[in-house]
Chain A
């Protein structure tokens, strides 16, 4: 089972829900064969790791492939620059410049070069770390290097890693997705069985929630809504979801005590009973919705 937690607007409580759900489930799963896998897919600003500390099990540098100019083989035919749709290759006098941040790793220039003068080489984008917290909780964090502009390839590699190594049915996988509605978010939720859109009941939260819903519809994803900071703002989110028959599977109350725990990097499920009850309820609703699917 794979659940993605996404939002549209940033700062609505994705990480809060992802972390607290993971901690609660790891407790519940004690004594069973079930395990929680939490993955931070917000590679630009990964925060889940600030809330749960585990033992580092594995660490890997992540690369994608970009072309590298081989001066000795090049005959300056310009085929590469002509086929590149991203302006990632430029001819400057008697040298060829490759701009990795513009390159989409499509291989066209490399494969179509008649002289094999643009072999694909590894280009560092970031790191993936795997942590173990206890017998029932593992955590994976992918972190983009600062200055690397394309987040999506690192998210894609992380998604594939999960697919290859954690697809057994003992895993309950929770993805903390990046904010927004564009390619990084879409890549993160691709394999999810259910997407939970976390929002806050303000005009900003409501507006960005509608964008996120449109994106989910386009991707044909099954989704539900959690309202965080419930009690502030107005009822627009609530009324809209009811009208559209979109399930609201949780309302996390707006509590200063919760904001304080968050500020200090602490989980809430063991400290605030009313939040624990709400997270437990969200889990039950997830089970219901995903059972209905299969």
Chain B
């Protein structure tokens, strides 16, 4: 089983459209993981029928009981997150500010603080209309710990891939370079970078690639909206050559991309002969690279 992670650095380059297309092409031979847990969109393309739904708990939140509290202010004094407020003479924890470090719990002389498990989101295992399994999640509103939920989604996808004996796990990652992205990359065999020929596209690509190269993962790239700016497209190709990153496809700037998602289809289904053909070639190459013996 091989893990493919689709990454972009910059948001809005077409990552989810392209991942959805690869999922349509891979069909029952893959498990799909939507690791962009705080703006998860893959379910909008795949019509998932939810089979398993679970609450996801991660971290803790302090809870100050009024009974037994001697109003010594110790909890408020040690909190580095300004999470403990005094309201009408009682100590109240702001769950958005509280990081769940438990320092207040440790110092409370009357043991009137409890550390409660925190509901961080929901996680789902579904069957898609492509006949593959989609593992997805929804981060709780204003919840922390998206990195841990990403890890949960990715690990669950890998586990199911093992049980179903499929060849690939396909991961749609979040934008950025921080903890959710690092969590998505753990265990990856191949990274597919999706970029666009804009100054921001190249800037963000180079930052996310620096992260990927630190982790020494084999990398390929798709340039989306490739004909938007020829000069920038050349600069991106220069960057790819310099770092020995194989260019899989140059996809034209085409309204068909948004037309497809507007009717809930992947672009490979909507434009079979144009963009669809380019993505079919890309998927073939991805499989070849992963099945090469080195």
Contact = CB atoms under 8 A, between A and B. Distances in A.
Contact of A112 (B60, B106, B182): B106
A203 B44 contact: yes
Nearest to A214: B141
Contacts of A104: 99, 101
A202 B39 CA distance: 14
A226 B180 CA distance: 27
A15 B10 CA distance: 11
Interface of A: 8-12, 15, 42, 44-45, 47, 50-51, 83, 85-86, 101, 104-108, 111-112, 144, 146-151, 178-184, 186, 202-204, 207-208, 211, 214-215, 218-219, 232-234, 256, 259-260, 262-265
Nearest to A180: B38
B146 interface: yes
Contact of B11 (A11, A101, A147, A186): A11
B71 interface: no
B178 A150 contact: yes
Given A186-B96, A233-B262, A263 B198 contact: yes
B177 interface: yes
The 8 residue pairs across chains A and B that have the minimum distance between CB atoms: A11-B12, A10-B11, A106-B101, A265-B199, A44-B176, A263-B229, A263-B198, A108-B103
B261 to A, nearest CB: 6
Contacts of B253: 256, 259
Interface stretch (B155-163, B206-214, B240-248, B276-284): B206-214
B174 interface: yes
B13 interface: yes
Interface string B195-223: 01111110110011011001000000000
A233 B261 CA distance: 8
B41 A208 contact: yes
B126 interface: no
Contact of B176 (A106, A111, A179, A232): A179
23 contacts: A8-B39, A10-B175, A42-B176, A44-B177, A44-B207, A45-B177, A47-B203, A83-B102, A85-B102, A104-B99, A107-B78, A108-B102, A146-B214, A180-B175, A182-B180, A183-B144, A184-B176, A202-B262, A204-B261, A211-B38, A218-B142, A232-B255, A260-B228
B101 A47 contact: no
Contacts, number: 181
B289 interface: no
Q: Which of B78, B96, B179 has the most CB of A within 10 A?
A: B179
B59 interface: yes
Interface string B88-130: 0000000010011111001100000001000000000000000
B232 interface: yes
Interface in B1-40: 9-13, 16, 38-39
Given A146-B207, A150-B178, A178-B176, A204 B11 contact: no
A146 B176 CA distance: 10
A215 B106 contact: no
Nearest to B16: A204
A179 B146 CA distance: 13
Interface residues on B, range: 35 or more
A211 to B, nearest CB: 6
Interface string B249-283: 00001010010011010000000000000000000
A11 B38 CA distance: 15
A263 B232 contact: yes
Contact of B228 (A147, A181, A259): A259
B231 to A, nearest CB: 8
Contacts of B78: 107-108, 111
Contacts of B99: 104, 106
Contacts of A108: 78, 101-103, 106
B183 to A, nearest CB: 9
B261 A202 contact: yes
B12 A12 contact: yes
Contacts of A207: 39, 41, 44
Given A9-B11, A264-B229, A181 B255 contact: no
A50 B199 contact: yes
Contact of A45 (B10, B39, B139, B229): B10
Given A45-B9, A107-B80, A218 B178 contact: no
B50 interface: no
B255 to A, nearest CB: 7
B39 A208 contact: yes
B143 interface: yes
B187 interface: no
Contacts of B59: 85
Given A202-B261, A207-B44, A265-B199, A181 B38 contact: yes
Contact of A149 (B144, B147, B196, B232): B147
B109 to A, nearest CB: 14
A47 B10 contact: yes
A151 B180 CA distance: 11
Nearest to A212: B39
A234 B44 CA distance: 15
A9 B41 contact: yes
B41 A204 contact: yes
Contact of B214 (A50, A147, A262, A263): A147
A66 B82 CA distance: 18
Contact of A146 (B13, B16, B107, B211): B211
